[in-house]
């Protein structure tokens, strides 16, 4: 909904679940607390909105079981889609690296072929430098 999953926001808001179980909503589930926890959990400006969204979805899902199933299904779909996109991006990066390697090899082979076919230009002899000595200065 906000462009990112904000998993760290949801994890921090639901952290009391570890020791309170289903009664964890007594903590961090008011709009003010959720906004603060969401803002602190991530450095992004939409973290607070993700916290508010989390609380709203929890309240709505508690009252309407059908809606909760729908939200869970959509979250699962998003998770699967994100996993597939990560795989796709990894493959695309690997292919890009392979193409760059092949391009580098082709450039080296082309340069070697050019070096073999064309005569190398002769190097000009360097001019000898005359060292100036303080003794030779005219005073």
Confidence label for 136 from pLDDT (cuts 50, 70 and 90): low
Backbone angles phi, psi at 14, to 5 degrees: -95, 10
Which ranges constitute the DSSP H helices of the chain? Answer: 7-13, 17-20, 31-41, 47-63, 65-117
Largest Cα separation within the chain, whole Å, is 105
Confidence label for 132 from pLDDT (cuts 50, 70 and 90): low
Rounded to two decimals, the pTM is: 0.52
């Amino acid at each position: 909904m906000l462009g990112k999953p904000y998993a760290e926001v949801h994890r921090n808001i639901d952290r009391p679940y570890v020791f309170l179980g289903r009664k964890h909503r007594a903590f961090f589930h008011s709009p003010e607390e959720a906004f603060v926890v969401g803002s602190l959990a991530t450095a992004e400006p939409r973290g607070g909105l993700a916290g508010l969204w989390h609380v709203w979805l929890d309240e709505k899902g508690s009252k309407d079981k059908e809606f909760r199933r729908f939200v869970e299904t959509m979250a699962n779909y998003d998770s699967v889609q994100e996993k597939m996109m990560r795989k796709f991006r990894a493959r695309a990066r690997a292919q890009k690296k392979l193409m760059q390697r092949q391009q580098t090899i082709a450039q080296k082979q082309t340069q070697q072929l050019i070096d073999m076919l064309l005569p190398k230009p002769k190097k000009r002899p360097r001019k000898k430098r005359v060292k100036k000595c303080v003794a030779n200065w005219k005073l």
